[in-house]
Amino acid sequence: MSATDDENRSLLIIYATETGNAQDAADYIARQCRRVAFRCRVIDIESFSLPDLLSEAIVIFVVSTTGSGVEPRSMTPFWKNLLRGDLPPDTFEDLYFSVFGLGDTAYEKFCWAAKKLSRRLESLGASELYERGEGDEQHPLGIDGTLLPWTEGLLNTLLDISPLPPGIEIKPANVLPSTRVSLNPTSQTTLESSADPLKSDTLYHTATVKANDRITAEDWYQDVRHFEIDFDDDIQYDPGDVAIIHPSASSTDVDSFLFTMSWTDSADQPFEIEQVMHDQSLPDHLPKITTLRDLFTRFLDFNAVPRRSFFQYLRHFTSDDLEREKLDEFLLPEGAEELFEYCYRVRRTIHEVLSEFQHVKIPKDYIFDVFPAIRPREFSIASSIKKHPHQIHLCVAIVKYRTKLKIPRKGICTSYLSTLKAGDTIRVGIKKGLLKLPDDNDTPVICVGPGTGIAPMRSVIEQRTASGAHANTLYFGCRSEPKDHHYGSEWQAYLEKQQLQYRAAFSRDSPEGQKRTYVQDLIRQDSEDIWKLVGEHKGWVLISGSSNKMPAAVKEAVAFAAEKHGGLSADQAKEYVQSMIKEGRLIEECWS
């Protein structure tokens, strides 16, 4: 490397994420790099521009994948600039980089965004410092199963490039890291006069809940809600855009947790948060003055399934030898299976772990290191501003499921939403989505949205019909027509007005012994009409829902139509579908 010694011992870690996992991974990498005396900066790719990359010597990218191989929304502006055709092939000849991707091998395009980033940087002259890592949520230890050994390999490479300065030693991995904050007591008056960053953020709007209605049958296993939210502001959004909501834990759960931690008496004592380690992130919209009760209500998640690093911290904070021995067993390589069975298979929460390890006393200054942040959640908007001015509608499945543990597992944000009543106020942000619509209303649009994937499709259809478009087709799929046929009466009304062609697959309503029917099966059945729409009339296909097997199956069904009725070979049909994607005529708004 041609960089100076000072540059060789400094590096930038850039993360791109939707859920926060990449941010947590970036924090972990920074902590480990600090062990070998490297100076790190951790930054969100959203606040980083392409020209800034020219002044960096070593950059580590931590990148999650959204939907079916798409980069996180926060990365899109950076990625578009990186794809510019006028960039010389030696643009980043002085840059050394490595990429760690986060993904799930259950999905078609595993770690696709990380792979694309690696290839593009190399094509622009950058040199890969250390081989790309690919974290897999399917690993028994989750992302940590790959992240931890990958980070050790990265450290060894960094030390080869720039050995430790004289007199500096590597800090052992089992040494307690420094805290990222210091909590300094302050007065109640100071707390009352302090600002709430979420309330003052102009990207968010104050809204009032108008409706929270269950739209699945009461005896159905899944609770899906339709929300209507009113805004005083003149909000604007397009089909495919998303609503951002910051959840809160229930007061009952918070009280129980504070009691478990023996923090009840100090729960409402105000303190000021002073950040000590600036290479470690803090939760979004965190106030400077707060209390433990507010932190564990709005910012720190005690109901999350803990990562392996959580148990690394706990071994430092227990006064019981048997507990420390058990924690050490979990952290041994041969203890991975036991940790998986104890924690990950049954989705045991941090609160439940701490209830069992009763001798653990976590110092308050370490709460931001031990507990993960409560992340804001994004939900596809299920309405059109043309039809519902000053309103946003949401279609949300309330996450609740059982494992071997007695208490059901719950999603923190959907649980929070489920408790909202008409008249409650919340802050809601609006963010651009991935979907687009053709400029010409006569262009056919085929919407495919099974389950709660119907949300952005409802927005599309409302927008299109409000604009006078009639060339609309919707493929919807669910398990049972009488149980979870989301917005079925609305689709029937559009059908009667000849504003929509509607096809629904009810997979569990098929007679016993008959093959189940899914949306891709209906598209294959309608292959002649599909080819007329996408081949002859250059129609668009919009896909929304789970990014597991459905999007790939739908694209295969479109290719089948091109082959059977378009006179194309199998390879040409696949290429046609790929050309639709490149032209922006086939768009996926999918999630894992």
How many CB atoms sit inside 10 A of residue 302's CB?
A: 26
Is residue 128 classed as helix, strand or coil in its secondary structure? strand
What is the Cα Rg of the chain in Å?
26
Nearest to 368 by CA among 173, 151, 178: 178
Q: Is 378 annotated as a binding residue?
A: yes
384 is in an annotated binding site: no
Bridge-based pairing of strands 10-16 and 39-44 is: parallel
411 is known to lie in a ligand binding site = yes
Determine whether the annotation assigns residue 291 to a binding site: no
Tell me: is residue 188 an annotated ligand-binding position: no
Q: Which two tokens stand for residue 169?
A: 């030693």
Question: Has 377 been labeled as part of a binding site?
Answer: yes
- Please indicate if the annotation marks 138 as binding a ligand: no
- Asked whether 427 and 206 are in contact (CB, 8 A), the reply is yes
Tell me: is residue 340 an annotated ligand-binding position. Answer: no
For residue 423, give Cα distances in angstroms to 208, 209, 312, 414.
Answer: 6, 5, 44, 18
Whether 360 has a binding-site annotation, put simply, is no
Q: Which residues contact 233 (CB under 8 A, 6 or more apart)?
A: 205, 206, 390
Residue 142 is assigned to a ligand binding site: no
Q: Do 416 and 379 contact (CB within 8 A), yes or no? A: no
- The alpha carbon torsion through 209, 210, 213, 215 (nearest 10 deg) reads -110
Residue 17 known to bind ligand? yes
Answer yes or no: is 379 a known binding residue: yes
267 annotated as ligand-binding: no
Q: Which segments of 36-111 does DSSP mark as H helices, in order?
A: 76-82
Task: Return the closest-CA partner of residue 540 out of 487, 490, 589, 480.
Answer: 589
Was 65 annotated as part of a binding site? yes
540 strand-pairing partners: 445
| 189 known ligand binder | no
Is 591 assigned a ligand-binding role in the annotation?
A: yes
> Rounded to the nearest 10 degrees, how much is the dihedral formed by the CA atoms of 336, 341, 342, 344?
80
Helix axes 21-35, 144-161, angle to 10 degrees: 40
For 182, other C-beta atoms within 10 Å of its C-beta total 13
- Ligand-binding site membership of 518 (annotated): yes
Instruction: Give the containing element (helix H, strand E) for 133.
Output: strand 133-136
413 assigned to a ligand binding site: yes
Query: Are the beta carbons of 244 and 378 closer than 8 angstroms?
Result: yes
Find out whether 21 is annotated in a ligand binding site: yes
Is 415 within any annotated ligand binding site? Answer: no
Say whether 508 counts as a known binding-site residue: yes
For residues 296 and 313, what is the distance between their CA atoms, to the nearest angstrom?
Answer: 18
DSSP string, 458-473: HHHHHHHHHTT---EE
Burial class (CB in 10 A: 0-12, 13-18, 19+), 520: buried
206 is in an annotated binding site: no
Q: Which residues pair with 516 in a beta bridge?
A: none
For residue 516, say whether it is annotated as part of any ligand binding site.
yes
**Residue 151 marked as a ligand binder:** no
Q: Is 35 annotated as a binding residue?
A: no
User: CA distances (Å), 333 to each of 90, 145, 170, 339, in order?
Assistant: 42, 10, 21, 10
Residue 95 structure tokens: 């840059």
* Known binding-site positions for FAD: 347, 377-380, 411-414, 591
* Known binding-site positions: 17-22, 64-67, 137, 347, 377-380, 411-414, 452, 507-508, 516-520, 591
* Known binding-site positions for NADP(+): 452, 507-508, 516-520
* Known binding-site positions for FMN: 17-22, 64-67, 137
